Amino acid sequence: MQAEHDWDQLAASLSASIDGQVIAPADEAFEGSAALWSARRPRRPALIARVAGAPDVQRVLQATPLAVPVGIRGRGHDWAGSAHAEGGITIDLSQMRGVQIDVGARIARVEGGARLDDLMDAAGEHGLAAAVGTVNEVGVTGLTLGGGYGPYLGTIGLAADNIISADVVLADGSITRASADENADLLWALRGGGGNFGVVTSLEIGLTELPEVLAGVIAFGTTEIREVLTGFDQLLPSVPDELALRPAITSGPDDNPALLMAVQWSGDAREGAPWVRAAEKLGTPLMSEVHSVTPAQALHALDGMFPAGQHYTVRTVSLPGLTPAAIDALEDGERGRTSPFSAVNIHHFHGAATRTESGVSPWAFREPHLMVEMIATTKDADGHDEQVAWADELLSQLEPLGLPAAYPNLLQHSDGERAAATFGDNLSRLHSVKHDVDPTGRFSGIPIGLASSR
């Protein structure tokens, strides 16, 4: 419900006080500015404040009554419309894309609206890399605060594990810094607790030296789903930290159904080559294109694969492994997938991500597992409900085989139970930090087992 408020007065006041831009529904730029990655859930804010820095965020929060819902927009793949609060104000960080690299300290300072490619391109100029996801347009801050699965789980861990410090504007408009030396509880909460604690205007992120990786895709026919996924599951216990394998059941470059195995080896190419051959031997490859590239080139390999403006709905489940029953469900799911744009992606959580010391992060879900994301995708609204039903049916088959926890970055806000299981025994401390810094529930990022404030 839209709060009773004089929006014209607020817009005029903010326009006069911030360095950024205030965009109202009557403005020509509003529709484009309000559009998110997914066109499926069009929440409409009453006002958008496209901020230029932390002082702008402070002014917006101080000028906006507490009764007015606040959304925070960074960058990237918002499928659920979380960036906007219906009838509220959106703080849009998308113009804040700066990245500064401290080569000696191996630290990146990343503004709140930067994308993964902004970070990786800048770090790559110095032979460095960060724990990022798989698609360049995803926002660094959203991915990182909410956990951050990707091809570096085995060697660097979750993206959240690599946060060194954060600049945050709290609910009362105060600007603070969270680090090991100041506001350590807040830093701990940000390492996986999502955008629930304030507006993060910049992050300091640890980098690793990595000038090259072996990366690419091996394609198999869908008639080999059972054979390839069975072999993949059998291979997992022996997979070294450097190897990331990500099966995807979707459409290939020729638009025909395919099982695509994304491969990345983050280490010496000579040591990785036998593992690439092992992945090829899982079936009969229709194509294998795995080469030495830079980490930035590996990230850009999927450019344009999930374009903004289509209709997306995402479901997720975490599995301890691919049992015959799980593979049966995935085979059934492929037979029921009617949109060539829909996909099932499987991410392997292993290695360094499982070995983070207790107390570093609220993320308690550290056992090896497979995170499965089902992406129902259509170009427009036509046929999308059918694809959502496909994803829901596949989820209903996999969830009884899954673990209690699931990836909060991909969950709906109503799915508090599975989100809470991700934080486990850390949940009460996480909620305590939330109460200390945002007692009125002004911010609602990923679900953390609290009732939504919207």
Confirm if 101 and 122 have CB atoms less than 8 A apart: yes
| Residue 55 to residue 330: CA distance in whole angstroms | 49
Ordered domains of the chain (ranges, CATH): 7-92 (3.30.43.10), 99-209 (3.30.465.10), 213-410 (3.40.462.20)
Write the pLDDT tens digit of every residue in 302-353: 888 899 999 999 999 999 999 999 999 999 999 999 999 999 999 999 999 9
Please state the three-class secondary structure of 233-266 as a single string. Answer: HHHHHHCCCCEEEEEEEEECCCCCEEEEEEEEEC
Specify the residue for token string 């570093």: 360
The residues near 239 (Cβ < 8 Å, ≥ 6 apart) are 154, 245, 275, 348, 350
- pLDDT score of 47 more than 60: yes
For residue 1, what pLDDT is reported?
39
| Residue 338 to residue 349: CA distance in whole angstroms | 29
Could you count the other beta carbons within 10 Å of the beta carbon of residue 230?
A: 17
The residues near 180 (Cβ < 8 Å, ≥ 6 apart) are 165, 187
- pTM of this prediction? 0.95
341: its two tokens? 């744009």
Q: What are phi and psi of 396, to 5 degrees?
A: -65, -30
> What's at 52, amino acid-wise?
A
For residue 103, what pLDDT is reported?
98
For residue 303, what pLDDT is reported?
86
Confirm if 242 and 192 have CB atoms less than 8 A apart: no
336: its two tokens? 């029921």
| Residue 233 to residue 322: CA distance in whole angstroms | 6
Tally of residues, the chain? 454
| Confidence class for position 3, pLDDT limits 50, 70, 90 | very low
Q: What are phi and psi of 97, to 5 degrees?
A: -115, 15
Write the pLDDT tens digit of every residue in 108-144: 999 999 999 999 999 999 999 999 999 999 999 999 9
Closest to 119 (Cα-Cα) out of 343, 351, 296: 296
- pLDDT score of 453 more than 60: no
| Residue 135 to residue 146: CA distance in whole angstroms | 16
Closest to 219 (Cα-Cα) out of 178, 248, 242: 248
| Residue 338 to residue 212: CA distance in whole angstroms | 38
313: its two tokens? 């709905």
Write the pLDDT tens digit of every residue in 144-189: 999 999 999 999 999 999 999 999 999 999 999 999 999 999 999 9
> What's at 156, amino acid-wise?
I
User: Counting runs of H as helices and runs of E as strands, what totals does the chain give?
Assistant: 13, 18
For residue 302, what pLDDT is reported?
85
- pLDDT score of 267 more than 80: yes
Q: What are the Cα distances from residue 189, in Å, to 86, 103, 139, 166, 442?
A: 26, 27, 19, 11, 16
For residue 283, what pLDDT is reported?
98
- Average model confidence (pLDDT) across the chain: 95
Say what angle helices 416-423 and 427-437 make with each other, to 10 degrees: 100
Confirm if 296 and 364 have CB atoms less than 8 A apart: no
For residue 42, what pLDDT is reported?
67
Write the pLDDT tens digit of every residue in 227-241: 999 999 999 999 999
- pLDDT score of 43 more than 70: yes
> What's at 356, amino acid-wise?
T
Confirm if 383 and 339 have CB atoms less than 8 A apart: yes
Q: Determine what percent of the chain is predicted with pLDDT higher than 90.
A: 90
Classify residue 34 by its DSSP letter: H
For residue 429, what pLDDT is reported?
97
Classify residue 83 by its DSSP letter: T
For residue 454, what pLDDT is reported?
41
